[in-house]
Amino acid sequence: MKESSYYTVNDLLMAMIQHSDNDATLLLSQNMNQNVYNQVFKDLDIQLPNPVTEYYINAYDYGKFFRVLYSSTYIRPEYSEYGLKLLSKSTFKEGLIKGIDPSLTVAHKFGERIIGNKSQLHEFGIVFVKDNPYLIGVMTSGSNLKQLTSIVGDISKLAFDEYKNLPG
């Protein structure tokens, strides 16, 4: 994002989701309806982020966002499809994607944070395998971001290998 430039909401959503662009996220958050945002968290029974303190979300709650997108149970189907399409164009290819068949579509989102000598890498996604997709989420913490990325890929590969060998 460049200073003194104009962006559409679509441009910002693409940057935020596909590139994990925090500047786009900040611009969107400054211009959204806070009541609608708060209601989403309330409806999904997820603790509302406090803008003053660090926000932590567990894997179960984070997965709720993907479940309602996939099932189109919270927003209109065309908006769910749009969200999944954006998520499937993520430029991050070193985590979940690394561990699975490259011909498959994966709607995924990653986030990384480095505070001092502690790194975090979290990634969630829906892997579209034939008519039976699955949700996977990996949350990691450690001292080496590159190693965490490798761990996410390894876990994804293990899950994919097990999943593709399931009967049915």
pTM of the full structure:
0.91
Per-residue model confidence (pLDDT) at position 168? 66
Round to whole Å and give the CA distance between 126 and 63. 10
**In whole angstroms, how large is the CA radius of gyration of the chain?**
17
CATH superfamily of domain region 33-164: DD-peptidase/beta-lactamase superfamily (3.40.710.10)
The pLDDT-based confidence of 167 (bands split at 50, 70, 90) is confident
pLDDT single digits (tens) 4-16: 788 999 999 999 9
Specify the range with the lowest mean pLDDT, choosing from 22-26, 43-47, 50-54, 131-135: 50-54
Round to whole Å and give the CA distance between 19 and 36. 24
User: Can you name the residues that pair with 147 across neighbouring β-strands?
Assistant: none
Q: Tell me the mean pLDDT in the region 150-162.
A: 96
Q: Where are the domains of the chain?
A: 33-164
pLDDT single digits (tens) 83-135: 999 999 999 999 999 989 999 999 999 999 888 999 999 999 999 998 899 99
What burial class does residue 16 get, using C-beta atoms within 10 Å of its C-beta: 0-12 exposed, 13-18 middle, 19+ buried? buried
User: Can you name the residues that pair with 121 across neighbouring β-strands?
Assistant: 112, 140
